[in-house]
């Protein structure tokens, strides 16, 4: 079932992940939560990929929680919300936060409705490229719920508190252009998948170790102290210089006519 609900293909060392429940507008039932988690865990172990693109099959990226399915039994709530430690991510949160554990850039391709849990998933990526007709909403307010799928971590990076409260308290729908002005969207494109592939290929030209280090550095340092950020910068730089990919990148920069292929990225 997991393979049917979320599919993955590899093109040019770029993983293309597709939410594949189009008949339900990619709404999230418990099985789909599990399928996304399995996909993330698999991609984390794949050191050959250089980027991940996430898209939705059908007319919508994801319309959020499949309320009828999830609310059918109390067991579903336990499955989604249970966690061993208060500060860890439960299953519901992991489908957003888990993308940050993959050490390559994750690019979300958004179209149609990106509502509730769908927006939480999208916020977990490093970049979001949306079709002009995409509609985004922190939809949980309409169901008397709070947005509890980990997207709060990303919202605080992109929005001032009043703007985040406005979206979360009203559940209002906004266009891709409005989302871009709010800094929720990286780019609006008539061909978002093609734009995502172009970005993925561009990043793939860089040292995979440097890209992985930047992602981890910014994730860990963005909300910590100045001393923490400076220490991380220095440590990651030493780690990169000790590896082969930095020397390959320097060689390629100086010898564009005879570029060497990068080695598989290290574990970050």
In a domain, 181, yes or no: yes
Please indicate, yes or no, if residue 185 is contained in any of the structural domains: yes
User: Looking at the domain assignment, is residue 173 inside a domain?
Assistant: yes
How many other β-carbons are positioned within 10 Å of the β-carbon of residue 166? 14
Residues with Cβ within 8 Å of residue 227, at least 6 apart in sequence: none
Q: What pLDDT, on the 0 to 100 scale, is given for residue 85?
A: 76
Shared domain check, 242 and 164: no
Q: What is the pLDDT of residue 1?
A: 45
User: Domain check: are 12 and 144 in the same one?
Assistant: yes
Is there a domain that residue 267 lies in? no
Task: Tell me whether residue 268 is in a domain.
Answer: no
Same domain, 164 and 105: yes
Q: Is residue 70 part of a domain?
A: yes
Domain count of the fold of the chain:
2
Q: Are 184 and 225 contained in the same domain?
A: no
List the domain range (segments joined by +) for residue 247.
207-254
- 134: in domain: yes
Q: Clarify whether residues 131 and 248 are in a common domain.
A: no
Same domain for 187 and 159: yes
246 and 156 together in one domain: no
What is the structure's pLDDT at 192? 98
Distance CA 253, CA 257 (A): 10
Query: How big is the chain by its Cα radius of gyration, in Å?
Result: 19
Mark whether 35 and 149 lie in a shared domain.
yes
Name the residue with tokens 């340092």. Answer: 221
262 domain residue, yes or no: no
pLDDT value of residue 228: 57
96: CATH:
3.90.226.10
Residue with tokens 């963005």: 222
Same-domain pairing of 248 and 141: no
Q: Of 167, 184, 203, which closes a domain?
A: 203
**How close are the terminal C-alpha atoms of the chain, in Å?**
31
Question: Would you list the DSSP string of the chain?
Answer: -HHHHEEEEEETTEEEEEE--GGGTT-B-HHHHHHHHHHHHHHHT-TT--EEEEEESSS-SB--B-HHHHTT-HHHHHHHH--SSTTS--HHHHHHHGGGGSSS-EEEEE-SEEETHHHHHHHTSSEEEE-TT-EEE-GGGGGT----SSHHHHHHHHS-HHHHHHHHHH--EEEHHHHHHTTS-SEE-SSHHHHHHHHHHHHHTS-HHHHHHHHHHHHHHTTS-HHHHHHHHHHHHHHHHTSHHHHHHHHHHH-GGGPPPPPPP---
CA torsion 209→121→111→104, rounded to 10°? Answer: 10
235 and 142 inside one domain: no
Ordered per-residue pLDDT tens for the chain, 268 residues? 445 999 999 999 999 999 999 999 999 999 999 999 999 999 999 999 999 999 999 999 999 989 888 878 888 878 888 877 777 788 988 999 999 999 999 999 999 999 999 999 999 999 999 999 999 999 887 777 777 787 777 788 888 999 999 998 898 999 999 999 999 999 999 999 999 999 999 999 999 999 999 998 888 766 666 565 566 656 666 777 678 887 887 777 778 888 888 888 887 7
Are 25 and 112 in a shared domain? Answer: yes
Same domain, 47 and 118: yes
């Amino acid at each position: 079932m997991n393979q049917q609900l979320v599919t993955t293909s590899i093109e040019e060392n770029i993983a293309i992940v597709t939410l594949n429940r189009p008949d339900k507008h990619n709404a999230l039932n418990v099985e789909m939560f599990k399928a996304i988690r399995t996909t993330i865990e698999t991609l984390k172990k794949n050191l050959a990929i250089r980027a991940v693109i996430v898209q939705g099959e059908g007319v919508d990226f994801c319309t959020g929680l499949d309320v009828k399915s999830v609310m059918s039994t109390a067991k579903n709530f336990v499955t989604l919300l249970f966690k061993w430690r208060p500060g860890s991510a439960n299953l519901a949160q992991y489908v957003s936060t888990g993308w940050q554990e993959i050490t390559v850039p994750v690019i979300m391709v958004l179209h149609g409705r990106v509502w509730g849990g769908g927006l939480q998933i999208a916020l977990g990526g490093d970049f979001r490229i949306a079709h002009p007709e995409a509609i985004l909403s922190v939809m949980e307010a309409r169901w008397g719920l709070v947005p509890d799928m980990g997207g709060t971590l990303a919202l605080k990076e992109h929005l001032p508190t009043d703007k985040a409260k406005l979206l979360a308290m009203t559940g209002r729908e906004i266009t891709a252009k409005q989302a871009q002005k709010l800094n929720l969207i990286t780019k609006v494109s008539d061909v978002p998948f093609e734009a995502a592939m172009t970005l993925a290929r561009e990043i793939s030209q860089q040292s995979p170790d440097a890209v992985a280090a930047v992602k981890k550095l910014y994730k860990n340092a963005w909300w910590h102290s100045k001393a923490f950020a400076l220490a991380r910068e220095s440590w990651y730089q030493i780690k990169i210089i000790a590896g082969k990919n930095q020397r390959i990148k320097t060689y390629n920069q100086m010898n564009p006519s005879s570029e060497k292929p990068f080695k598989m990225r290290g574990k970050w």
